[in-house]
Amino acid sequence: MLVEEQLVQRAVNGDREAFTQIYDLHFDKIYRYIYVKVRSQAEAEDLTQDVFIKAYESIKNYKWRDLPITAWLFRIAHNRVIDHVRKTSKEKKASLDEAGAISSGDPVHMTELNFEIYQLKDALLHLPDAQREVATMRFISELSISEVALSLGKSEGTVKALQFNAIASLRKLLYGKINGY
């Protein structure tokens, strides 16, 4: 049995420390995934917290054989984001000011970073849903091909094709059409 699987089994059996370790392992990935899908940092923080509380409430019913823990957490995050987007879809769009990154202390540098993040989020928003999901999980949350495939319920071959098309689309959106891609 893998170390992570043992850890998850302990958490399923009610070991709080084990769940905290799972939280530490996946918190950043989940936050990054949610961040590029919502309008503001505050929303991303609230939703990330909700995902882990929901996961803690449901961990007793979790079975590794059905889905690895990473895929399970991303499914919760995906559902939580969809619920949130449905509720807030009629509200105003995010502004550049709300695209926050780690504060570096330098206002110019911060503005540049925020602008680049804003561009990326905007480009991702223009991708088809499947490509956006794969690109977010693969290049922003840094999941493996198999984890993405399990999270989305798709084959690895499909995920590879989607990630390739997503990068080709992002290239066009970020830099304009170059050499056919």
Binding site for another protein (CB under 8 A): 16, 19-20, 23, 27-28, 31-32, 35-36, 41, 45, 48-49, 52-53, 56-57, 60, 101-102, 113, 116-117, 119-120, 135, 139-140, 145, 160-161, 163-164, 167-168, 170-171, 174-175, 178-179, 181
Nearest to another protein of 73, 135 (CB atom): 135
CB of 153 to another protein, least distance (A): 19
Round to whole Å and give the CA distance between 168 and 56: 38
CB of 83 to another protein, least distance (A): 19
Q: For residue 37, what is the DSSP state?
A: T
CB of 128 to another protein, least distance (A): 16
Nearest Cα neighbor of 74 from 114, 40, 34, 22 is 34
Nearest to another protein of 1, 96 (CB atom): 96
Nearest to another protein of 53, 85 (CB atom): 53
Nearest to another protein of 86, 178 (CB atom): 178
Nearest to another protein of 52, 72 (CB atom): 52
Round to whole Å and give the CA distance between 75 and 67: 10
134 to 55, 74, 106, 144, 175: CA distances (angstroms) = 22, 12, 33, 10, 20
In this structure, what token pair is assigned to residue 154?
A: 């798709």
CB of 90 to another protein, least distance (A): 26
Round to whole Å and give the CA distance between 145 and 162: 11
Nearest Cα neighbor of 11 from 27, 22, 24, 25 is 22
